[in-house]
Amino acid sequence: MPTSLEAVRPIELAEIQEARRRIAHTIVRTPLVRLELGAAYPDIRLKLENLQPINAYKLRGAANAVAMLTESERKRGVWTISAGNAGQGVAYAALRAGVPCTVVSIETAPASKIERMKALGARLVPVPYEVAWKALGERSFPGVEGTFVHPFDDHNFIAGHGTMGLEILEDAPDAVAVVAAIGGGGLITGVGSAIKSLNPQIGIWGAEPETAAPAARSFAFGSAQAFPDWKASFVDGAGGHSVFPRMWERMKPLVDGCIVVTLEQTRQAMRLIAEKARVISEGAGALGLAAALTGKIGRGPIVAIVSGGNVDLKKFCEILESTAS
């Protein structure tokens, strides 16, 4: 890992507000809608980040990070490491800036994400998940040159995600909690930075699948942890092998806890979003709703972030069919 990394520091509200102005013409201000489930369920609102131009929230951070690169950094081209959504975000922002982009992509990523990255002009270097996770820590990969844009451990990337928190507070000022999937931790850090700056009383909760829950383990132990029983699943956009120490340092003061949900609870949440909101969510995008439905966050109002909708339609239909009973 490079020795010149900027020390971890809080994301200031002013930085998030500046990012909002910077990316306003690139991203969509996504709607926040109430999920009508009945009196027996918590009051849940969905923040529909699956409606971004790349169908995922990552565009916020990528657009801000690429916009803040120097001219010399852009001339070198940019590259990132991704299971698909960050890769799309960086490729989209790079395409608009006229900058070449390479993505070290996880070879088991859904075909829809792979095709979208290619369509946005990215050069793909497919690798196994374990290789990609190792490269994230090292911030380098053999044969790939250019300016590295980290998909979560990047101050400007996280500040871009914080713009979502500003929108949530404007559209749901009565919210008592916000819940988001945790992959690398950039989403929850950005949103938490904005919300805690303006209303520290609102709870910030993470959600992970049972097959990959290093953040929940980290909160239980009070330090950055690996997840020894990691397994791949259809929830490809969340849950890593471990929590990076730098990301633990970022999340620790902002996040109130992390809820682990089963794969079946995640499938049911995907189905509910489709049935009640007529919205397609990928596995990671449904984790927040699945966590809210456990009742562990209270009765609400709870904002569940639908972080993305990039799922192969065949797989999506299979998941809905499997939960039909």
Do residues 44 and 289 touch, judged by C-beta distance below 8 A?
yes
DSSP 99: -
296, burial (CB in 10 Å: exposed 0-12, middle 13-18, buried 19+):
middle
Whether the pLDDT of residue 3 is over 60: the answer is no
Please tell me the pTM assigned to this model. 0.94
Q: What is the mean pLDDT of residues 29-46?
A: 95
Question: Do the domains 59-148 and 13-56+155-322 match in fold?
Answer: yes
Provide the residue ranges of all domains of the chain, joining segments of one domain with +: 13-56+155-322, 59-148
Which tens digits make up the pLDDT trace of 67-118? 999 999 999 999 999 888 899 999 999 999 999 999 999 888 888 889 999 9
Q: How confident is the model at residue 1 (pLDDT cuts 50, 70, 90)?
A: very low
The pLDDT of residue 271? 96
The pLDDT of residue 210? 97
The pLDDT of residue 236? 86
Q: What is the mean pLDDT of residues 193-210?
A: 98
Return the CATH architecture of domain 13-56+155-322: 3-Layer(aba) Sandwich (3.40)
The pLDDT of residue 83? 81
The pLDDT of residue 325? 55
Most confidently modeled of 44-48, 54-58, 117-121, 310-314? 44-48
Radius of gyration of the chain (CA): 18
Three-class secondary structure assignment of the chain: CCCCCCCCCCCCHHHHHHHHHHHCCCCCCCCEEEECCCCCCCCEEEEEHHHCCCCECHHHHHHHHHHCCCHHHHHCCEEEEECCHHHHHHHHHHHHHCCCEEEEEECCCCHHHHHHHHHCCCEEEEECHHHHHHHHHHCCCCCCCCEECCCCCCHHHHHHHHHHHHHHHHHCCCCCEEEEECCCCHHHHHHHHHHHHHCCCCEEEEEEECCCCHHHHHHHHCCCCECCCCCCCCCCCCCCCECCHHHHHHHCCCCCEEEEECHHHHHHHHHHHHHHHCCCCCHHHHHHHHHHCCCCCCCCCEEEEECECCCCHHHHHHHHHHCCC
Q: What is the mean pLDDT of residues 13-32?
A: 97
pLDDT above 90 as % of the chain? 84
Provide the token pair at 273: 């979003």
Of residues 116, 90, 284, the one with CA closest to residue 188: 284
DSSP 12: -
Q: What is the mean pLDDT of residues 140-161?
A: 94
Which tens digits make up the pLDDT trace of 169-178? 999 999 999 9
Q: What is the mean pLDDT of residues 126-138?
A: 90
Lowest mean pLDDT segment, chosen from 2-11, 188-197, 274-283, 297-306: 2-11
CATH topology of domain 59-148: Rossmann fold (3.40.50)
